[in-house]
Every structure is written in structure tokens, then in C-alpha cells.
Amino acid sequence: MAERFDLLIFDWDGTLSDSTGLITQSIQSAFAEVGLEVPTRQQASFVIGYGLVQAMQYLAPAASDEKIADVIEAYKRHYLARDADILLFEGVPEALARYQEAGYLLAVATGKSRKGLDRALGNTGLDRYFDFSRCADECQSKPHPQMIDEITDRLGVAPARAVMIGDTTHDLQMAANAGAASLGVAYGAHPRHELAALQPLAVFDTFAELDTWVNQYG
């Protein structure tokens, strides 16, 4: 492998984990349950990567704090009912093992809570590969650069030697705000043209394409 980057930072949902559909469906079900106007699939997909409070406030800006709390609790119930069924994208464990063996530092920057990420890492067995992670309940929500800032500080890597890999414009904008490079994946929440508008190094339609790029140019 090349040595352009020392640190690969991955988003979780829609990048490593095929969970975008469940998230959008759970948001829609939660809004219906508490009597709020149900967002479209596109609207629900847009907020993936935000912390839960910010996501629900974005989708229901006129809702009271109490109503936001209700919809968050409903969302958690709908999501957790099927959480264990979520699959990783094909090739993810093998690729992470190769990256680790090649000497990359690996991290996760996610809109999930710490409890949610730890559960996902444990369920998938991927916890062995990551050196550090930051979650939405530990930092300011994407696209604020705090997650990447804390990851690079903790791992002793200059932002210019790190690349953020994600499926949303929030991921790519966070990277730009932190002075890091970015790679977009168009198989998750946000469409290719929106990702490309933020000028990542590349945008990929499958995890296999991303893996090939990292192996050749990372």
C-alpha cells in the first residue's frame, strides 16, 4: 500500500453498516407514532449523521422540547427492535483487517451514541480493528470538526495525514472543517452529486470500489 495517509476515519451508518434504510424507516415510524408530520425518505435520510436531538429538531423545527424527547424515545424503540439484523457491507471486515496489518490507524466518527456504537462494534466483532472513536453524544454534531479534531489529537496524527470516509455531506464537510481529506460513498444516505459537490478525493458506488482505491492510493 501507498503511504499518503496514516489514519483512516470511517463513518458507521451507511458507510460500514448497511443501516440507512432502517434509520429512515425508524424515523418515519417514530414521527407517525407521536403525531408529528412524517418526513419523506429523502428528508429522513438527510439527517443521518447528526446527533439525535439535532436530527429531530431539524425535521420538526416547531416541535416542543417535550415532543422532541418523545420522538427520540420512539425512534430508539423502533430502531432497536431490528438493530441486531443489520449487516455490514460486503468485504468490510476483511478490508479493515488488511488496513490494520498494513499499519494504518483506524477510527470511527459517527452520529451514533457511544452506547449504540459500542453495541454495533460488539455485535459485528469490528471493535478489534479501531484505535479510537468519537460519537455524537461526546462531541458537537457533524459537520462541526470536533470529532476529527479529538481523533487526530488522541492518535497523534496531523489532519492532513487523515482521511474521512463517509456517505453524507455532513461527513465530508466535517473533514473540510477539520483540515482533513475526504472520500465519499454513494451507496448510503446522500446521493453522489451532493457528495461530489464538496470535492472529496473520490466518490464510490460500492465498498469494493472504496477498498480498491485505498489499496492503490491510500
State the DSSP string of 57-102.
HHH-TTS-HHHHHHHHHHHHHHHHTTGGG--BPTTHHHHHHHHHHH
Beta bridge partners of 108: 10, 133
Q: Which three cell numbers stand for residue 121?
A: 462494534
Place of cell 477498498: 211
Task: Give pLDDT, residue 139.
Answer: 96
Does residue 13 carry a catalytic annotation? yes
Would residue 11 show up in a list of annotated catalytic residues for this protein? Answer: yes
Element counts in the chain: helices (H) and strands (E): 10, 6
Name the pTM for this structure.
Answer: 0.88
| Residue in the block written with cell 470529532 | 147
Which residues are CB-contacts of 218 (< 8 A; sequence separation ≥ 6)? Answer: 1, 2, 4, 5, 8, 99, 104, 163
Catalytic residue among 6, 11, 149, 167: 11
DSSP letter assigned to residue 138: T
CATH of domain 7-19+87-217: 3.40.50.1000
d(CA 52, CA 56): 6
Catalytic annotation, pick one of 6, 13, 149, 211? 13
CATH topology of domain 20-84: DNA polymerase; domain 1 (1.10.150)
- The per-residue b/e assignment along 19-50, b for 16 or more CB within 10 angstroms, e otherwise, is bbebbbebbbbbbebbebebbeeebbbbbbbb
Q: Is the peptide bond before 143 cis (omega within 30 degrees of 0)?
A: yes
Q: Where in the chain is the domain with CATH 1.10.150.240?
A: 20-84
How many Å is the Cα radius of gyration of the chain? 17
pLDDT averaged over 10-residue windows placed end to end, the chain, 218 residues: 82 94 93 96 91 94 96 94 86 97 97 94 95 96 97 97 97 98 95 97 97 91
Q: State how far the Cα of 94 lies from the Cα of 142, in Å rounded to an integer.
A: 28
Residue 17: the pLDDT is 94
- Report the C-alpha gap between 183 and 214 in whole angstroms: 10
Give pLDDT tens digits for 42-77.
999 999 888 899 999 999 999 999 999 999 999 999
* 171 closest CA partner among 24, 10, 53, 17: 10
pLDDT at 3: 63
- Dist CA 120 CA 110 (whole Å): 12
Which residue has 449523521 as its cell numbers?
49
The residue written with cell numbers 416541535 in the block is 63
Residues of the chain with CATH 3.40.50.1000: 7-19+87-217
